[in-house]
Amino acid sequence: MDGAARKTRGGEFGVQQVGRDVAGKDEQGGWGMNTLRVVTREGETIAADGGGRVLDGGAVGGRSGRSSLEWSEVLVEELAARSAELEGAEPGEIIGWAVERYGDALTMATAFGPEGMVILHLLASIAPQTHVFNLDTGYQFPETLELRERVHQRYGIEVEFKRPESTVEQYELQHGGPVYQTDPDRCCFDRKMSMLREAAAGYHAWISAIRRDQSPDRAKAPIVGWDKKFGLVKVNPLVNMTKKDIWKMIVDHEIPYNPLHDQGYTSIGCWPCTRAVMFGEDERAGRWSGRAKTECGLHSLDDSSGAKSEHLA
């Protein structure tokens, strides 16, 4: 069978079996061909293989005719194996694999940090058509927002701004003042994490710019893995790079960067929760300074980090 949705005699869509060369374990535990199910319901075809690739005929529904990617043990096993294989690969090679593997079901979120700018520089030569978005909380620095135009001028990549339904003024009025002062976890969830869920709808994988040496939590990040918070495959092409590696690449290739970095801002987020760091401080010490909070929740590996677990249901 070819994997396309077919109607039964009663006119209802049903389930078909499709043979494909996909990443799946056979009875001997080796990777080989599996027979996969194409599940269809209510006129929508949900046709993903064991590695999450949409089969011939695609999946109707969602962004660009794609359905959401579903978690499975086979998928997680494949990602773990692929991550191990890519452990020693260069960032461009990892990005190239992601582009080949997921095509237009691949997206990237960027805050225009040094690492994000390096990935945009690489994407410009590997796959400039890749969808890229920025989570504009309404609290970003003007210097951060201006980088969007510089990226477009330099690389021809137009980064899409994703914004909450409410403006900052409306949001603060609704909650009786700045939420970042009283409940920064809630603010991050409302103004950032919930937007990522919406922005990533219909995509199967997203590229992030984290490095393992940035924090103890990020030190556990794989090259490729399942992001259970957002129901996506997460690709981390820069995890093995150091801060020195990133800035060498920026200087060598004259990659645009946020001028606030020249003023002591080593990690830049929303202006109310970001300060310049002092000599000898950790590079993320300027984020949510004075609080135990160290992550907005996008990249924390534990549901208890960043946003509260009940917010992530």
**In this structure, is residue 205 part of a structural domain?**
yes
Mention every residue, 6+ apart, whose C-beta is less than 8 A from residue 210. 115, 218, 221, 236, 238, 239, 299
**In this structure, is residue 289 part of a structural domain?**
yes
Q: The domain that contains 241 carries what CATH number?
A: 3.40.50.620
**In this structure, is residue 238 part of a structural domain?**
yes
Pair 55, 89 in one domain: no
pLDDT category, 215, cuts 50, 70, 90? confident
Report the range of poorest mean pLDDT among 26-35, 135-144, 176-185, 249-258.
26-35
Pair 179, 52 in one domain: no
Q: Residue 234: which H helix or E strand, with range?
A: strand 232-235
Q: Please tell me the total count of domains within the chain.
A: 2
Identify the pLDDT of residue 29.
37
User: What does the block give as tokens for 191?
Assistant: 């103004």
Pair 49, 145 in one domain: no
Pair 166, 211 in one domain: yes
Mention every residue, 6+ apart, whose C-beta is less than 8 A from residue 292. none
Identify the pLDDT of residue 246.
96
Pair 307, 207 in one domain: yes
The CA–CA distances, whole Å, from 176 to 138, 180, 182, 184, 280 equal 17, 12, 10, 14, 37
> Bigger pLDDT: 55 or 241?
241
Annotated catalytic residue within 188, 270, 273, 296: 296
Identify the pLDDT of residue 218.
77
**In this structure, is residue 75 part of a structural domain?**
no
**In this structure, is residue 7 part of a structural domain?**
no
Calculate the average pLDDT of the chain: 76
For a pLDDT cut of 90, what percent of the chain falls above it? Answer: 50
Identify the pLDDT of residue 234.
95
Please return the burial class of 288, using the count of CB atoms within 10 Å of its CB with bins 0-12, 13-18 and 19+: buried
pLDDT digit string (tens) for 47-66?
334 444 433 333 323 455 57
Pair 226, 174 in one domain: yes
Pair 146, 174 in one domain: yes
Please return the burial class of 270, using the count of CB atoms within 10 Å of its CB with bins 0-12, 13-18 and 19+: buried
Query: Is the distance from CB of 184 to CB of 291 less than 8 angstroms?
Result: yes
pLDDT category, 265, cuts 50, 70, 90? confident
Q: Where are the beta strands (DSSP E) in 69-155?
A: 106-109, 131-135
For a pLDDT cut of 70, what percent of the chain falls above it? Answer: 68
What is the 3-state secondary structure of 243-258? HHHHHHHHHHHCCCCC
Pair 57, 148 in one domain: no
Global confidence as pTM: 0.71
Pair 38, 166 in one domain: no
Q: How far apart are CA 27 and CA 147, in angstroms?
A: 52
**In this structure, is residue 182 part of a structural domain?**
yes
Residue type, 208: S
Identify the pLDDT of residue 196.
82
Pair 63, 86 in one domain: no
Pair 110, 241 in one domain: yes
pLDDT category, 6, cuts 50, 70, 90? very low
Pair 63, 107 in one domain: no
pLDDT digit string (tens) for 93-125?
999 999 999 999 999 999 999 999 999 999 999
Identify the pLDDT of residue 64.
52
**In this structure, is residue 236 part of a structural domain?**
yes
pLDDT mean over 63-83: 85
Report the range of poorest mean pLDDT among 172-176, 280-284, 286-290.
286-290
Q: Residue 92: which H helix or E strand, with range?
A: helix 91-102
Domain with 24 in it? 15-67
**In this structure, is residue 227 part of a structural domain?**
yes
Told to judge if 296 belongs to the known catalytic residues of this protein, a careful annotator would answer: yes
